[in-house]
Amino acid sequence: MPLLNISPKETTIGFVGTGVMGRSMAGHLQAAGYRIAVYTRTPAKAQSLLDAGAVWKESIADLARDTQVIITMVGYPVDVEEIYLGEGGMLAAAAPGTVFVDMTSSRPDLAQRIESEAKAQGLHALDAPVSGGDIGARDATLSIMVGGEEAIFNQLRPLLEMMGKNVVYQGGAGSGQHTKICNQIAGAASVIGVCESMAYAKKSGLDPETVLQSISSGAAGSWSLTNLAPRVLQDDFAAGFYMKHFVKDLKIAVESAEAIGLNIPGTKLAKELYEKLEADGYGDLGTQALFKYYH
């Protein structure tokens, strides 16, 4: 089935989930001239979009019926499953030809199931998780990892490039989620390194700001060191990416690795450290709050 003509004149984009990242991502599409319809469990989080002309929908089914492209950016795989496949879900309500793009960090097997169910109903589905946190969402510099049918990706690519600058097609359904797992595995080790490095700098009597000047441009340089270490040193633990969502991602990573017969002990360690902090009540802080483990 041919894809609908996607343009600001012809297309209304539905957006489900307007939290720390989703609000900025939807805002870029709105700024490009697209009509935006939104649904979120916390309406106040969508207020800036509504003030700029977005339309509020009372249910995900209403949103699915009235839009041609639907982007979802929610918290957990259980949320993804509910809004796509649950009673009153979007797949059942959408018109043939509707395109779904799940940008939540979720399970590869769920992405494959959603695409299969979508195809059976004359719909299209991509899994397109992102990396870059609140800063990347705000600046439209996200890395977007896409799985699904390549022809659909090619037609949606201009929309994705309004939200990110590194948009890469990875393969069939679930490939975007597998790639995000690779990202989180690498990121987990990086954040541990940043927090332990800054903890060591403080404990050894060095000036951590001066240490950061030296090591951020050397071989140890990384996105985490550049973006998270300064927050750590300013005791800024606000979420650019929630710790509780990172715990979710690391659980998915460990389970997915086990499913393919791969042992990932470093990621398991990171998962244990983050789970301890989440249990201590830090789940709504950012991933850089791992530094609290070393206090």
pLDDT band at 5 (very low <50, low <70, confident <90, very high): confident
pLDDT of residue 240: 86
- CA-to-CA separations, 258 to 58, 77, 109, 252, 261, in angstroms, rounded: 40, 18, 14, 10, 5
By CB neighbour count within 10 A (0-12 exposed, 13-18 middle, 19+ buried), where does 280 fall?
A: exposed
Residue that is written with structure tokens 């990396």 in the block: 131
Residue predicted with more confidence, 177 or 5: 177
Distance CA 83, CA 292 (A): 35
Checking if the pLDDT of 128 tops 70, the result is yes
Is the pTM higher than 0.75?
Answer: yes
**Token duo for residue 182:** 């690779």
pLDDT band at 3 (very low <50, low <70, confident <90, very high): low
pLDDT of residue 158: 95
Residue predicted with more confidence, 20 or 37: 37
Of 45, 57, 165, 180, which one is the catalytic site residue?
180
What confidence tens digit (pLDDT) does each residue in 161-204 have? 999 999 999 999 999 999 999 999 999 999 999 999 999 999 99
271 is known as an active-site residue: no
Distance CA 9, CA 136 (A): 27
Instruction: Report the share of the chain in percent with pLDDT over 90.
Output: 92
Checking if the pLDDT of 143 tops 60, the result is yes
- CA-to-CA separations, 245 to 20, 104, 132, 272, in angstroms, rounded: 12, 10, 14, 14
